[in-house]
Amino acid sequence: MSINGPEELEGMRAAGAIVCLMLRAMKSAVRPGITTAELDEVGGGVMRQHGARSAPALVYKFPGVNCISVNEEAVHGIPGKRALQPGDLVKLDVTIEKDGFMADAAVTVPVGEVTEERQRLIACAERAFAKAMLVARAGFRVLEIGRAVEREVRRSGFSVIRDLGGHGIGRTIHEEPRVPNYADPEANQILTEGLVITVEPIIAAGSGRAFVAQDRWTVITADRRPSAHYEHTLVITKGAPMLLTAA
């Protein structure tokens, strides 16, 4: 969507603030032994407290409140009985609806001590996001976001998962434009002031190829190498974008 007036901006800010609170609570609850279902309920409790609803459940009938993915699971993991183990990477991906507005963000959290490679993977996803923010501005093309992300990821020795990326958001989860994590020549739309999108590097330590698991939701790296995901919902401006899901 494109923001038209202060009321829409306030609605998006409110949705983004709830996503931020949910992620903060879930991140604080990450520890060895907690199950992904228990983590999901931590986020769900905060969501209900603020009168919001799970957007994946609302739009796509996702069987959980939040997408929680572990290690080689890149995105869309279904919360369940899996208990986190020391050394795991857990991806917390939160998308909610509040008063007709939706916002989306994700973070990768280490469980206890993790390997040096996994630490670098987390840092790379966040660094690639920061690089993208330099071109996520009015007048640039969408593909320049992807170019910035992939350049940083490749420089760090990792791969983007090309099947996954960011998107427009606002009144529903996935709106135009598609925001790939590479310089896709088809993503040539010019970014305009007020446009609301997500930027979300989704990267892997291996080839970056992935497939959908038998549960029809979870996306898994083909070589079972670990992945990382970092995301915010933002509003395009002439200068630095406005991050709606950051504290």
Per-residue pLDDT reduced to its tens digit, 8-63? 999 999 999 999 999 999 999 999 999 999 999 999 999 999 999 999 999 999 99
Backbone angles phi, psi at 35, to 5 degrees: -90, 160
Identify the residue whose tokens are 């791969």. 159
Give a three-class secondary structure readout of 78-98: CCCCCECCCCCEEEEEEEEEE
β-pairing verdict for 196-199 and 89-98: unpaired
Q: Alpha carbon 152 to chain centroid distance?
A: 17
How many Cβ atoms from other residues are within 10 Å of residue 170's Cβ?
22
Low-confidence ranges of the chain (pLDDT < 70): 247
Residue type, 12: M
* Share in percent of the chain as helix, strand, coil (round to 5): 30, 30, 40
- How confident is the model at residue 247, as a pLDDT? 66
